[in-house]
Structure formats: C-alpha cells, structure tokens
C-alpha cells in the first residue's frame, strides 16, 4: 500500500512572495492547521501563520481561506491525496504570509460597558468574590 500524500499550496508574501507548494505524508484527521504546523516544523520555518490558538474553532485566530472559502484551520480537514490552496483570510491587511491584521475588526466592535443593574445581577449568587 502506498502512502497518501497531500499537496499544500500557500500564498506567501514578503521575500517569499508567490505560491509555495509543499508535499506532506497524510495523517488521519489531518487539519489545515496541523499541515501548516508540519510545514513550519519539518520543511520551512520561515512560514508565518497563527499557530497559537484555541484549536477548537472558537477564537478564529487560525482563520484562512482554503480553496477560496473562509475556514478555521483547526477545524477544516484535508483528505488523503487532496490538493489545497491556503491563502490569507478576507479583506484584511496581510502582515506576512497567512498572518492578517485583526485589529481593524476589534476596533469596529461596539464598546459595551455594563450598567449598575447588570453588574448587580451578575454578582448575585455567582460566587464572584463580591464583598471581599
């Protein structure tokens, strides 16, 4: 039986600008994030991507485009012998390779402060240490 290979193409920026192609041995349940980690650790330590994330699809810091569609790298799997194109996500400024500037999204969120009523309701029976 022959080993399954995945081909990962990554849109790079900076000095390595262009499409870089990497071949990896397939792992069962391989995610896009795992493929990026293996490329970084085994082949190309110059690859920039966000690999410090929750790895459960909540924080969104591993968001990339996979074959043209936005996806969480930690939740999106790669099939045996599949070829994938990974690009920076959406309409954000690319810092380098797959790392984009999320600060504009954070600044666009409305600021919300809790009123006294919400603070009082939250503190009741929550064991939050109020009154210490």
Q: Which residue has the higher pLDDT, 25 or 126?
A: 25
48: nearest Cα among 40, 58, 38, 59: 40
Domain carrying residue 14 = 5-107
Instruction: Determine, yes or no, domain membership for 13.
Output: yes
What digits encode the pLDDT tens for the residues 21-43?
Answer: 999 999 999 999 999 999 999 99
Instruction: Determine, yes or no, domain membership for 112.
Output: no
Q: Is the pTM of this model over 0.85?
A: no
45-53 own/partner pairs: CB under 8 Å, 24+ apart: 46/16, 47/10, 47/12, 47/20, 47/97, 47/98, 48/95, 48/96, 48/97, 48/98, 48/99, 49/73, 49/97, 49/98, 49/99, 50/98, 50/99
Instruction: Determine, yes or no, domain membership for 85.
Output: yes
Give the per-residue pLDDT at 57.
80
Instruction: Determine, yes or no, domain membership for 77.
Output: yes
Instruction: Determine, yes or no, domain membership for 127.
Output: no
How many structural domains compose the chain? Answer: 1
Instruction: Determine, yes or no, domain membership for 120.
Output: no
Instruction: Determine, yes or no, domain membership for 114.
Output: no
Question: Which of 9-18, 44-53, 111-120 is predicted least confidently?
Answer: 111-120
Band of pLDDT at residue 119, cut at 50, 70 and 90: very low
Give the per-residue pLDDT at 52.
74
What digits encode the pLDDT tens for the residues 48-94?
Answer: 998 777 878 888 889 999 999 999 999 999 999 999 999 999 888 89
What digits encode the pLDDT tens for the residues 81-104?
Answer: 999 999 999 888 899 999 999 786
Instruction: Determine, yes or no, domain membership for 97.
Output: yes
Q: CATH number of the domain that 20 lies in? A: 3.10.20.30
């Amino acid at each position: 039986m022959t080993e399954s290979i995945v081909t990962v193409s990554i849109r790079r920026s900076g000095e390595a600008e262009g499409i870089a192609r990497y071949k990896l041995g397939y792992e069962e349940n391989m995610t896009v994030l795992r493929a990026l980690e293996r490329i970084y650790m085994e082949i190309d330590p110059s690859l920039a991507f966000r690999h410090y994330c929750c790895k459960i699809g909540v924080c969104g810091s591993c968001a990339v485009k996979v074959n043209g569609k936005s996806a969480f790298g930690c939740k999106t799997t790669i099939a045996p012998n599949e070829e994938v194109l990974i690009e920076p996500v959406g309409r954000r400024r690319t810092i380098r390779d797959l790392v984009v500037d999320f600060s504009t999204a954070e600044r666009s969120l409305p600021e919300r402060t809790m009123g006294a009523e919400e603070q009082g309701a939250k503190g009741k029976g929550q064991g939050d240490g109020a009154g210490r």
